[in-house]
Every structure is written in C-alpha cells, then in structure tokens.
C-alpha cells in the first residue's frame, strides 16, 4: 500500500494575527478538493485558536511547533499535549534543529516530548538530521541513529506507527541549500531500513518527510524519491502560492 503524502508548513515565529488568518484562508481557498496529499500547518502557538476556527470542518491538519514533556504544572512557557488537543491540534513538531541548537534541547528531552504527544493522541513529527560538520565527518548516519534511538528506547519502535519522521539536514534549513534528491533518498532509505530491522511493518508504513529549503522548483524531484513521503516546509510555507505549489507536487 503506497504511503499517503503529507506536507506540513512550519510557520515558526513569523506573522501576525491578521497575516496568519490571511495565509490559512488563502491555503484553504487554493487546495484542490480531490488532493491526495494530507496537508498541515503549524502556526505560532498564540495564533492556534484562530487558525483552529478557520480550519473547522476542513481537512487541513493543525499542528504545534513543539509540545511539553509534562501534562501540567509548574513548567513556565510550556504548552502540554492536552492543552493543544483542546484546540484540535493533531500534529506536533518535536526536536526541530532550531530547538536543539538554539534552545539546547537534548535527545532525552525530545524523546520525552515525543512520548507525551503519543500518549495524548497527537502525532509527533520527529525531526532528525545532521549538521554540515557532521556530514563532512561522515557522521550523518550515526547522528540519526542516536536521535532515533532516543525515542525508540523510551517508547518502543511500535510508537512510530503513530508518528511521522522528518529528515532535516541542518545545513539545508533556511539556507536555500537543498539536499540533492540522491542525498535525501539515501538518508530516508537509511532511516526506513534502520526501523525495518526492528519492525518491518512499522517501517513500511512510516511517513518520512524531507525538510530543508524545499521550494516549488525542487519539490517534485524530491517528492518523487521512493522513500520521501512529503515535506516539512519552513520559508516557502509563509507564501500561500509557494506552499500550494508544493502541495500540488505531492499529489
């Protein structure tokens, strides 16, 4: 059974209340009704309630850019999976490289966030990927092994049947530098084979997204790779026509 494509926009800390509503209404207006690909958007957390309203009765999924590793309590600044669920959030990015690099999130913390998403029926989008130094030192696969092992050790390989993985080479995020189709396919196939060693069924159904300067002009080639099941889109997700063009390429 072919895996269903998934395209998710990560709006990061961009936009205003008004521009977020404009963006979601343009996306909704432009999506074909017979689209094969699933589509999701991750607005800034403060705009989630209004974007959730706009998405009432629509098939576009609502995502969060992170999720707490706790359910409630004295965790200033965090937003828990049950809170997100109240607003219809069904996706949560975990382990984005900006969280790992800028805010020091460790593999253990990322795994704890992932576990809470799973426990509350929110699909984690687990981001993995190497820096340029790690790639040049031939450490790409070992970095990904460690990042995957953190969640598998905590939650078991079966948890990946309720998750999505995003391969995001750090050197390609927001840089305009994209992995070649061969580089992306090589790592996606590696991720799938590592998981298949533990559970072939989970591996064959797992959606593995590519993220890193995916744009309308490179999306079709990346998405045509056998193990690339969609995209996690940063910059191009802030422009409705670019995002829609990528969604169309995923169809």
Closer CB to ligand PEP, 66 or 202, in the complex: 66
The Cα–Cα gap between 250 and 222 comes to 10
| Nearest alpha carbon to residue 48 among 1, 15, 7 | 15
Q: How many residues bind ligand PEP (CB under 6 A)?
A: 13
168 binds ligand PEP (CB under 6 A): yes
Closer CB to ligand PEP, 98 or 134, in the complex: 98
Closer CB to ligand PEP, 53 or 175, in the complex: 175
Do 23 and 60 meet the contact criterion of CB atoms below 8 Å apart?
no
3-state helix, strand, coil in the chain (%, to 5): 50, 15, 35
Closer CB to ligand PEP, 202 or 250, in the complex: 250
Do 78 and 70 meet the contact criterion of CB atoms below 8 Å apart?
yes
107 binds ligand PEP (CB under 6 A): no
Each residue 202-231 as x (binds ligand PEP by CB under 6 A) or -, in order, gives ---------xxxx-----------------
Per annotation, catalytic residue among 136, 168, 182, 188: 168
DSSP result, 60-123: PEEEES---SSSSSS-TT---HHHHHHTTEEEEEES-HHHHHHS---HHHHHHHHHHHHHTT-E
Residues 173-192 that bind ligand PEP (CB under 6 A): 173-174
Per annotation, catalytic residue among 26, 96, 130, 182: 96
Closer CB to ligand PEP, 32 or 174, in the complex: 174
10 binds ligand PEP (CB under 6 A): yes
134 given a catalytic annotation: no
Work out the angle at residue 132's Cα, subtended by the Cα atoms of residues 183 and 177, and round it to the nearest 5 degrees: 60
Which residue's Cβ has the minimum distance to ligand PEP?
Answer: 234
Residues 65-94 that bind ligand PEP (CB under 6 A): none
The Cα–Cα gap between 13 and 20 comes to 11
What is the signed CA dihedral for 164, 248, 174, 118, rounded to 10 degrees? -20
165 binds ligand PEP (CB under 6 A): no
- Residue ranges of E strands in the chain: 6-10, 38-42, 61-64, 89-94, 123-128, 164-167, 208-211, 230-233
26 given a catalytic annotation: no
The Cα–Cα gap between 134 and 166 comes to 18
Using CB under 6 A, pick the residue from 234, 242, 245, 250 that binds ligand PEP: 234
Using CB under 6 A, pick the residue from 51, 195, 233, 250 that binds ligand PEP: 233
Using CB under 6 A, pick the residue from 40, 63, 95, 235 that binds ligand PEP: 235
Interface contacts to ligand PEP, rule CB under 6 A: 10, 168, 173-174, 211-214, 232-236
Residue positions annotated with a catalytic role: 96, 168
């Amino acid at each position: 059974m072919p895996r269903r494509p998934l395209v998710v926009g990560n709006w990061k800390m961009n936009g205003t209340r008004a521009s977020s509503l404009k963006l979601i209404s343009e996306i909704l207006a432009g999506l074909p009704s017979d689209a094969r690909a699933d589509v999701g958007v991750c607005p800034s957390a403060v705009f989630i309630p209004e974007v959730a309203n706009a998405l009432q009765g629509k098939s576009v999924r609502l995502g969060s850019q992170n999720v707490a590793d706790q359910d409630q309590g004295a965790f200033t600044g965090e937003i828990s999976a049950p809170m997100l669920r109240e607003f219809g959030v069904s996706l949560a990015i975990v382990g984005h490289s900006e969280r790992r690099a800028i805010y020091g999130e460790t593999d253990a913390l990322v795994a704890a966030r992932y576990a809470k998403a799973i426990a509350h029926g929110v699909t984690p989008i687990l981001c993995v990927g190497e820096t340029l130094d790690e790639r040049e030192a031939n450490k790409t696969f070992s970095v990904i092994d460690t990042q995957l092992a953190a969640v598998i050790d905590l939650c078991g390989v079966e948890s990946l049947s309720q998750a999505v993985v995003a391969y995001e080479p750090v050197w390609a995020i927001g840089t305009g530098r994209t992995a070649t189709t061969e580089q992306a396919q090589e790592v996606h196939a590696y991720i799938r084979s590592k998981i298949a060693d533990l559970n072939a069924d989970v591996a064959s159904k797992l959606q593995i997204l590519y993220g890193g300067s995916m744009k309308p002009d490179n999306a079709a080639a990346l998405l045509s790779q056998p193990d690339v099941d969609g995209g996690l889109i940063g910059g191009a997700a802030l422009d409705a026509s670019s995002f829609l063009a990528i969604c169309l390429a995923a169809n």
